Structure 1
Amino acid sequence: MVRTLLLIAALLTPAAAQAEPKANQLFGAHKAASRQAPEPIGSYARGCAAGLVQLPETGPTWQAMRLSRNRNWGHPEMIRFLQDLSVEATRHGWRGIYVGDISQPRGGPMTSGHASHQIGLDADIWMLPARRLNLSRAEREKISSAVVRTADQRGVTAEWTASHHAIMRAAALDPRVDRIFVAAAVKIEMCKTATPADTRWLQKIRPIYGHDAHFHVRLKCPADASGCETQKPTVAELSKGGNGCDETLMWWVTEYLNPPKPDPKQPKEPRPRGPRDYTMADLPQRCAAVLAAP
């Protein structure tokens, strides 16, 4: 282990920066969590995690999907949350939930380039209600989730139900949850159908692109996790007593879908660096110890 730490330290020097391997390849190569106390380190989109726990592949009210990815690892608080939410789902007509990506065994950037899911506090829950909880490994690779956003991105499909709304409301009301990412059309529909006197929780439902077949739950940093970076601004700072069902939300189905054409005379902006580009130098220093731990 000492030799591994020395190698990583050497790679972090400026002289070796050009030759340093990508962090997603290093973290993606690990098949098991580190034998350390559970701790999220860094931010949701730039960090790692020690001592993660694997969500069992199958439980009484859930199944982990796409097992070949080995991304059903999370902080113990996330694993407990998913199990609790799966039970809640049965109260709204579902047999349980199908769980997509949580994190890699030691967190960190994913080889797929997933923007977050790096500290064990993010999880994707499929929009497809669990109809069977005995899917084989092969079936879990082939089955697809339900798409609840229309092709024009402005509305919801017939796959969207009141049960989806109720399950996400329950998740948003859970004090462990910081925010939930959904397609903008889903947030708009939830704003339309929510009980007028009961909408404060909708502030946690955040519109974003690419979430038409799953909703993405992000938990708050645990109270004892000093190395975990709380997202800024927090939902509490954003809300100011509101629910996020205002004209700002409509931007996602107006200007976002129809952006102004770029000026051909202006040079193209360089592609910003993302998780696929990160090296260990981009992550918190403590991630080197997570990577090297047994």
Structure 2
Amino acid sequence: MSSPQLLSAHAGHWTGSGTGVTVIVPPPGTVGSGEVRGGAPASREFALLEPYRLVDRVDAVVLSGGSAFGLAAGDGVVGGLRALGRGFATPLGPVPIVVGMSIFDRSVAADPPSASSGALAFEAALRGVPFTTGAVGAGAGATTGKWRSRLDPGGLGIAYGSAGPASVCAVVVVNAWGDVLAPDGSPLFAGTSALPSERGAGFNTTIGVLLTDAALAKNDCFLLAQSGHTGFARALHPAHSRYDGDAVVALATGEVDGADLDLIRAAAADTMAAAIRNAVFRA
């Protein structure tokens, strides 16, 4: 299923056998922050996103399968950005700021995404290849409901919202330990009679990116990322377990001045919840 452009960002996939990579490349000057709430994250450069760190700009976000192995996909994106001259200015040239988040899928045992996989997803983003959702890119090997000893559908979803003059977009890879919930709070797949039976430790994580065209500071983006986690809690149960690496990055591209941060945060929570549900709906 194809989706519209992610505001002013570019996005692309590489899809392998039961795993993949999704790259989001925002415009130069995009401000970013993020927050991890799950107990078992696989991430790259996340410490730089903390509000009190020096760097406030993000050049790309890489979502991947393969757990810690899949973080290598970020190397291919760093190389592509370096060739374009993008990155944090240093006396020895620009250093691209590429944030990575990975889910645990079956490629951990065989052929996880690599730097070349990341480079291919980056090239797809720059070429404007139609951005699709479902079991593609980083969502190719995603499943849900593992706390019930089930492998219910997971995948990559996208949703859009608005807050006055500002727009919000959520992109999420849903590989949760728990269930995806309908708006009324009922599990979409397990049914109300199914009881949890297994921990499913080590095979889970939901990772997401929130984009807005509002002009926000880094600390504002940190608060926006927190609202993304509110969306997790609305559409996943349980969310943020010790067995998940749940994480959200928030990016502000800055085209719209004067937008209300709290309205954007409210819209972001709703938009992230919608994206999670969209990830498992199959068109």
TM-score for the superposition, normalised by structure 2: 0.28
Whichever structure has more strand as a proportion of its residues is 2
Pair member with larger Rg: 1
TM-score for the superposition, normalised by structure 1: 0.28
